[in-house]
Structure 1
Amino acid sequence: MSDSRPVFFVSDHTGITAELIGKSLLSQFPRQSFSFISLPFIDSEEKAEKVAQRIQTERSHSGLRPLVISTLTQPSLRHCISQTDSLFLDIFPCFLEALETELACPATPALGQAHGMSDLPQYRARMEAVNYALAADDGMATERYGQADLILVGVSRSGKTPTSLYMAMQYGLRVANYPLTSEDLEKSELPDSLQAHRAKLRGLTLSAQRLAQIREERRPNSNYASLATCQQELQIAERMLRAQGIPITNTTQRSIEEIAALLKQSLEPG
């Protein structure tokens, strides 16, 4: 028997939608313990039957009724899995019926619409944004800053690289990032490569304690990771960015999804 309720995310494509919605819903139950199982590309009756067997097996082993969160588009596959001893939550029908009524036309189910290559130009734009983020990472390719949608600025290990890549993948935005060097901090002014693109600049900061913890994992027992160094660098960087009127986002208690959403929002007019 287990204390963690099994949760299956079942999809006929990547399963990203099922997992995102499912985890968002389950986060509203922080006192409950869950074990997550993702089952993407369930696109045949044979695969659906194996999933149904696995759900039943998990039901027996855990002693708890599994939750099944599905974005399957084929009715026969949904029916197969819905017959298991589980709470079967079928996401699409929850919304499609109301949308069909409102739009006065039937939906046309097709697998992989949200996270596939059905919109090839959009897919290519995201891949180009990823390539740009990699090329313009860590202060490289400053001559290409004119192509950027955003340029993230902050001290070393403040979360610039993962945020740049996430925004490229999720939003198709070209995001460069620049680490403020000791020379930049000593001068207490932005380098010339950033001055020409001030409207695109966004600062990232975090608590000195959190920064020291991150740096300690990278360079243990170093001056680079000391709390005093982190405090000093952050104070100078924040003062410099504020003096230039550059918006600053504190990432200490925020997930990468929250950081990216806030930065994207900052691009919107008004």
Structure 2
Amino acid sequence: MRTVFFISDRTGITAEALGNSLLTQFPEIEFKRINLAFIDNLKKAKEAAKLIQKASENDGLPALIFSTQVSNEYRELLENSGGIIFDFFETFISKLENTLATKSSHEMGLSHGVGNKNTYSGRIDSINFALNNDDGLNTKNYENADIILTGVSRSGKTPTCLFLALQYGIYAANYPLIEEDLSSVKLPSILQKCKHKLYGLSINPVRLQNIRDERRSNSNYASIDQCRKEVRRAEDMFIQNDIAFIDTSHISIEEIAGRILQKSKLERRY
């Protein structure tokens, strides 16, 4: 067991994402993960250092520290805490400063802040668009969508739309293929005029059954026969109408979104 701290002066999302990406390469080791966000004053930095010291003593091994801490003073406290620090800012900022021949601002919270009002408002607008155009709601707004995800129920449409909105500022809508739609390989009429924006999501029927069974156990909706039928007909529709699609069974929402962006050649808005 090794204790791992993700430490930042803001949300800690960056430190956690980068740190976890590295830790996945060591599956044989069990990690206890602790996120210490908003370490933005001296008192909090000292408390964080004490926690690291205590964890290292309890484990009998130095704790691992993944940090995006901007302050040199707070960073020194972490370095002297008895843990082993992997500082993403220190690793990259000095090289960037040399490359760009410019000193960095060393300001806290710029990556997740609201300093650029246009960027922040744009992200909020894209999230609201995804929520307001979820599951076939407000199909009249499809002309404003950057992309429209379609597929059977519980194939991953909603979380992918929200991730595209939050992470990339993409205006993403989604349309669920219901029993009536799947009676033919023709696209539903509402989708025909926006075919160029469509991207399909498919899924392994057994995986789909497991997901649906958690929601409506022992129902026809969750039966393996129903899942197989819907997936087969949805994929037939995609193929017949030349709609690109992806199998979401065993890949993360992040990877689904990344592959969709790559294939559709969409670019982040913000």
- The TM-score bracket by the shorter chain reads over 0.9
Residues 1:203 and 2:214 are matched in the alignment: no
Indicate the residue corresponding to 1:222 in structure 2. 219
CA distance in 1, matches of 2:97, 2:158: 42
Give 1:125 deviation, angstroms: 0.9
Alignment-mate amino acid for residue 127 of structure 1: I
Partner of 1:56: 53
> What one-letter code is carried by the residue in structure 1 that aligns with 2:34?
I
Residue aligning to 1:234: 231
SS at match of 1:152: strand
Distance between the aligned counterparts of 2:220 and 2:186, measured in 1? Answer: 23
Task: Show structure 1 runs of 5+ residues with no match.
Answer: none
> After alignment, is 234-243 or 115-124 more displaced?
115-124
Q: Give the alignment partner of residue 175 of structure 2, picking from 174, 178, 181.
A: 178
Among 150, 154, 169, the residue aligned to 2:151: 154
- Match status 1:41 vs 2:38: yes
Provide the residue aligned with 1:134 in structure 2: 131
Amino acid in structure 2 at the alignment position of 1:80 = L
1:115, distance to aligned residue in structure 2 (A):
1.4
Task: After TM superposition, give the deviation of residue 64 of structure 1 in Å.
Answer: 2.6
Is this contact kept in 2: 1:16–1:115, CA < 8 A?
A: no
Matches within 5 A, 1:1-270: 4-268=1-265
Per-residue CA deviation, residues 175-207 of structure 1 (Å, 9 max, x unaligned), is 100000111011332111111101110000010
Q: Structure 1, residues 67-119: CA drift from partner, whole Å, max 9, x if none?
A: 01111111110011110111011111111111111111111111111111122
Q: Is the 1:149–1:173 contact (alpha carbons within 8 Å) kept by the matching residues of 2?
A: yes
Query: What is the distance in 2 between the residues matched to 1:38 and 1:26?
Result: 15
Tell me the CA shift for residue 265 of structure 1. Answer: 1.3
Distance in 2 between residues matched to 1:64 and 1:140, nearest whole Å: 54
CA distance in 2, matches of 1:183, 1:47: 58
Counterpart secondary structure, 2:69: coil
1:27 shift after superposition: 1.2
Residue type of the alignment partner of 1:215 = R
Deviates more, 1:138-147 or 1:92-101: 92-101
Paired residues, number: 266
Aligned-partner Cα distance in 2 for 1:197–1:240: 15
- Structure 2: 5+ residue runs without aligned partners? none
CA distance in 2, matches of 1:266, 1:120: 30
Once the two structures are TM-superposed, the CA of residue 217 in structure 1 deviates from its matched residue by 0.6
Q: TM-score, normalised by structure 2?
A: 0.96
Q: Give the Cα separation in 2 of the matches to 1:187 and 1:248.
A: 18
Identity of aligned residues (%): 44
Q: Contact 2:185–2:240 (CA<8 Å) still a contact in 1?
A: no
| Residue type at the aligned position of 1:46 | K
